[in-house]
Structure 1
């Protein structure tokens, strides 16, 4: 039994104290390794996000290579009976009928190519000259071969004969080129120039102050004076007379930023859609137009 000390405690064995110290040191080492591992892992994670950018490198060499034989290469040992052993497990039975390959076809002189025929003629001439001991040219050989042949008749090119036209008072040919008759005066087409459309000198002008709120208008621009606005109305009427024929001119004085200007507007629209269609037609011809509403 353990001895009781004066203070009433017990004496701990020395072995248990050594084991406790070892356990403490082991826990401290594990904790330190864990902290170091977490630090290294965090550093690697940051370094990978910063410098670990994936790089896609192009493949070296051509992407496609043309084969030496575009038609493909035939596999060896095709058509053999032994090939069926790997396919079906047994060899094919012997064939019922065997057909030998045909003999090579000999071409006649007229079927031989021109280059081969010239070579054959040269070799024939050389053999004939060698056998006779004299020098014979190709021309002499051709002349001897065509000695009894009858020459073909020389064909003369046919001449095209112009058609004859019977004209009173002219014996041969035409003395003067024919011309179409003059169009009758009643059928002549007269086209008026585009500038012939002029603006009316007395355009109907409506006072801007007399228009009630909510009136649909089309603003054609803003100018420094009323006279310039009226001239611009006449110019636009010359271009778009078909659209502005039933419209009335409105010149409204306005001020903005200490500056006075005059708005040129068109009046006479049934609703906002009518004003939008009017402006669409003018904008399509590169003219300024904005549908507005009086306030």
Structure 2
């Protein structure tokens, strides 16, 4: 029994390995992967082929990231054109003033040139005129039709005016606000304008001796010049341009030597810390003026 059981198990293993090997070979040969095609369009045309415009373009605040300060106002400002007024031809024409259909006029019968010549030779012009005007409405009938159309239009206009008057009367009798109060002009009290006196005088600046400055004083250097007079003149020019920044600052003209050459540094004093001096120089550099924050040693 043991030998028979072992033989059966061995046979089953051999048969199973054979079946598994056959399926493995068949799978590698015939098992081709299938990729399904994507449904829908492969490419979609954009609504804006040139690209969508980014928002918030043209603002002065956009220059802060690149330059550190806001951009200057635009040098040129273009206003919208004035609105065009409608002419009389552009206004809406009431339906009552338009004819419902064009009147048909019978075309005159063609007349032979020979008949015209014979009528002129014999003097029978009345028959020729009657033949030429055959089918044409008389002038009296045309005037009567025009008067009829004018009367119809007048009645229609009068009816529309009466209906409008009734609507206005109904609105006036209805509850609520009948007349809108006109708002008062602001400011109610006109502002008094005082003419400022123009003066060419430059505010007097306080000059500090550079030898009296303690070490660590925060300064802003505005340039270096050949003489102290030129440095002071440059300070006066800067006071004219940047009076809002230099109003509370003190002037320092410091002598320095480098490479056998003597020059004079123009500096401003009156900053709380180095960050304050850097902000001051950033404002001047934005206006194309040289400025360097320094610390005395």
User: TM-score over 0.5 for the alignment?
Assistant: no
Q: Rg: which structure is higher?
A: 1
Report TM bin, short chain: 0.3 to 0.5
Q: TM-score if structure 1 supplies the norm length?
A: 0.39
Going by fraction, where is helix more abundant, 1 or 2? 2
TM-score, normalised to structure 2, is 0.39
